[in-house]
Amino acid sequence: MKKHPVDDLFARKLGEWEPKPSSAAWERIQATQKKKERRLGGWHWYAAAGVLVAMLAGYAVWQNQQGTQGPAMAQVEKRKPATHQVPEVPSTKIPTEEVPQESVNKELRRFPTTLPDSHDQLANVETKQKTAEREPAKQVLDPTVEIAYSELDKKATTPLEENTSTPPNTHPAERPESTLALAPTPEKPENRTVIARVEVPESEDEAQKSSRFLKVLRQLKNIKEGEEVDWKEMGINPKKMVARADARLKSEEEKVSKQYQNLKEKL
Amino acid sequence: MGRILPLFNQEAQLIKALQKADPRAQRQVYEKYSSRMLGLCIRYVGDKMTAEDILVEGFMKIFDKIDQFKSEGSFEGWIRRVMVNEALGYLRQRKRLLDDVELDEAQSIADYSYADQNLNAEELLQIIDRLPVGYRTVFNLYAIEGYSHAEIASALGITESTSKSQLHRARTMLQQLVAAWDNESKKKVDYEKASS
């Protein structure tokens, strides 16, 4: 079908017509494309940031636990004999209650009350003095217990004898333990780890390096996005490089032409 | 360093890169087609500013919906269709699509060769811009884009006969306008000859 002359005229002239759009048009397209990328990419970044925070938090907790775990274990071990002691002390009471001597009773009652105290106030210097006071008391205790035994012996009750026969064996055994438990306690504060964060200002060299690095990165981004590359910012002048190469080529060319001339003259 | 080297020589390569939202590919497509497509948009909407808005929207649609492009037809054809649809969407929004004007019978011009030689694209655009939007749109779609009346009817939501009548009226009006321009310019030439 033949085209109408008017159609033909307009189609030929306007179909090929290519006016240049303003640079703002591309910038607008680019801006919206980047926004979309950011919207999509933001999701990943938030996820990555979340994982990083979780890892840092985990590390911090782990570090803290490592710092406290050692002493905590030691404390538990030390307390074990103390818990053993508590039920044993009343067992010694049974015979002592029957003892008519009141002074012995008082000392015995003081003994269980002071023992847990000594565990609680281990770090205090006062406790040291207390333990010093207690030691003679314990020494006093031993003979009283022996007195109790002698009295019990007189009553001659066989089941009680069995009960009472154990305390003299356990008491001397326990005492060194308790003193041992007391001995390392002043070291406790030394075991505490103090985490000090010291902020060191970044050196200027590093800052310069990073800025140069950032410049190069920016230009790489330009290349990636199909934008123009600002060579000046990278500190490279491609024209100079080309000029240098050009000069070298020229000198080579001259050499060759001279050789050619020489050959010509010889012929 | 203003020139961007064509990184994607094959169209298939370019489309694949576009599907991955490669900014270099997008730039390359824009560089290649933006001018032609701006010309198309101006033909439909009349002024450059609005046409540029449509161009931007069109390219964003092209980049977003590249997956919808089936490699059956030509890529440029697809881009052109997207742009035409974008321009029609704008015109539809403005609801100026089908205003009518009374026309006198066109005086026919026997020879278009003079106009052909002397009219440039900008002048032709000025002429086409004087058409009512409905006529202009149908004329653009039929005469320049090569759409059939059936396609125009479905694109604009009109009947085929309306499309045909609009095209006829558009042609008539354009003939009048070209003839008027012809007479004026010939007169000008005669005057210049006489004065020299």
Q: Is B23 within 8 Å of A15 when comparing Cβ atoms?
A: no
Query: Coil, strand, or helix at residue A195?
Result: coil
Q: How confident is the model at residue A123 (pLDDT cuts 50, 70, 90)?
A: very low
Please give the structure tokens belonging to residue B69.
């492009």
Residue A122, pLDDT score: 45
Q: Is A26 within 8 Å of B30 when comparing Cβ atoms?
A: yes
Residue A174, pLDDT score: 46
Top pLDDT among B95 and B4 is at B95
Sequence spans of domains, chain A: 80-188, 213-267
Rounded CA gap, A108 and A97, in Å? 10
Highest mean pLDDT pick, A126-130, B73-77, B92-96: B73-77
Q: Render pLDDT for A148-159 as a digit per residue (tens, 0 to 9).
A: 454 545 554 444
Top pLDDT among A215 and A206 is at A215
Rounded CA gap, B186 and A84, in Å? 125
Contact assessment for residue B20 and residue A1, using Cβ atoms and an 8 Å cutoff: no
Within 8 A of B55 by CB-CB distance, chain A residues are: 21, 25
**Residue B176: CB atoms within 10 Å:** 19
Q: What percent of chain B has pLDDT over 70?
A: 83
Does the ipTM surpass 0.85?
A: no
B132 phi, psi to nearest 5 deg: -60, 150
State the nearest Cα–Cα gap between B71 and chain A, in angstroms: 23
Rounded CA gap, B109 and B125, in Å? 19
pLDDT of B74 strictly over 70: yes
In terms of Cα–Cα distance, which of A40, A43, A27, A24 is closest to A225?
A27
Please give the structure tokens belonging to residue A245.
């190469």
Residue B109, pLDDT score: 55
Within 8 A of A238 by CB-CB distance, chain B residues are: 1
Please give the structure tokens belonging to residue A101.
């001597």
Q: How many residue contacts between A and B have a Cβ separation below 8 Å?
A: 109
Please give the structure tokens belonging to residue B47.
């002024």
Sequence spans of domains, chain B: 1-95, 98-196
Contact assessment for residue B156 and residue A49, using Cβ atoms and an 8 Å cutoff: no
Please give the structure tokens belonging to residue A183.
């001995």
The answer to whether B189 contacts chain A (CB < 8 Å) is no
* Alpha-carbon separation of residue A188 from A68, A126, A178, A182, A234 (angstroms): 11, 16, 16, 11, 58
Q: How confident is the model at residue A199 (pLDDT cuts 50, 70, 90)?
A: confident
Q: What is the rounded average pLDDT for all residues in chain A?
A: 66
Residue B107, pLDDT score: 53
| A-contacting residues in B 27-56 (Cβ below 8 Å) | 27-28, 30, 34-36, 38-39, 42-43, 48, 52, 55-56
Please give the structure tokens belonging to residue B87.
């321009």
Q: Is B119 within 8 Å of A9 when comparing Cβ atoms?
A: yes
Say how many residues make up chain B. 196
**Dihedral angle, C-alpha B36, B41, B46, B52, nearest 10 °:** -90
Q: Render pLDDT for A18-64 as a digit per residue (tens, 0 to 9).
A: 888 888 888 888 888 777 766 666 677 888 999 999 999 999 999 88
Report the top-level CATH class of B98-196. Answer: mainly alpha
pLDDT of B6 strictly over 50: yes
Q: How confident is the model at residue A166 (pLDDT cuts 50, 70, 90)?
A: very low
Residue B94, pLDDT score: 79
Top pLDDT among B185 and B66 is at B66
Please give the structure tokens belonging to residue A112.
């269980």
Residue B150, pLDDT score: 95
Contact assessment for residue B140 and residue B43, using Cβ atoms and an 8 Å cutoff: yes
Rounded CA gap, B64 and A29, in Å? 11
Contacts for A197 with CB less than 8 Å, ≥ 6 apart: none
Q: Is the dihedral of CA B165, B167, B171, B173 positive or negative?
A: positive
Residue A162, pLDDT score: 46
In terms of Cα–Cα distance, which of A101, A180, A177 is closest to A141?
A101
Contacts for A186 with CB less than 8 Å, ≥ 6 apart: A122, A123
Please give the structure tokens belonging to residue B59.
């390219």
Residue A170, pLDDT score: 45
Rounded CA gap, B11 and B77, in Å? 13
pLDDT of A115 strictly over 50: no
Q: Render pLDDT for B158-177 as a digit per residue (tens, 0 to 9).
A: 999 999 999 999 999 888 88
Which residue carries 């479905």 as its tokens?
Answer: B154
Residue A176, pLDDT score: 47
Q: Is B120 within 8 Å of A224 when comparing Cβ atoms?
A: no
pLDDT of B2 strictly over 50: no
Contacts for A219 with CB less than 8 Å, ≥ 6 apart: A229, A230, A231, A233, A234
Among B42, B112, B142, select the one facing A5 at the smallest CB separation: B112
Q: What is the rounded average pLDDT for all residues in chain B?
A: 84
Report the top-level CATH class of B1-95. Answer: mainly alpha
Rounded CA gap, B194 and B196, in Å? 6
Contact assessment for residue A10 and residue B124, using Cβ atoms and an 8 Å cutoff: yes
Once rounded to an integer, what is the mean pLDDT over residues B96-110?
53
Among B1, B24, B115, select the one facing A9 at the smallest CB separation: B115
Q: Is B1 within 8 Å of A229 when comparing Cβ atoms?
A: yes
Rounded CA gap, A56 and A48, in Å? 12
Q: Which residue of B has its CA nearest to A14?
A: B121
Top pLDDT among B107 and A238 is at A238
Query: Coil, strand, or helix at residue A4?
Result: coil
Domains B1-95 and B98-196 are alike in CATH topology: no
Rounded CA gap, A194 and B11, in Å? 65
Residue B63, pLDDT score: 92
Q: Which residue of A has its CA nearest to B174?
A: A6
Within 8 A of B124 by CB-CB distance, chain A residues are: 9-10, 13-14
Please give the structure tokens belonging to residue A126.
């006062």
State the Rg of chain A over Cα: 47
Looking at this protein, which amino acid is placed at residue A263?
L
Residue B55, pLDDT score: 94
Rounded CA gap, A32 and A22, in Å? 17
Q: Render pLDDT for B21-67 as a digit per residue (tens, 0 to 9).
A: 888 889 999 999 999 999 999 999 888 899 999 999 999 999 998 98
Least confident of A13-22, A131-140, B146-155: A131-140
Q: Is A17 within 8 Å of B178 when comparing Cβ atoms?
A: no
Say how many residues make up chain A. 267
Quick one: DSSP state of residue B2? -
Residue A51, pLDDT score: 94
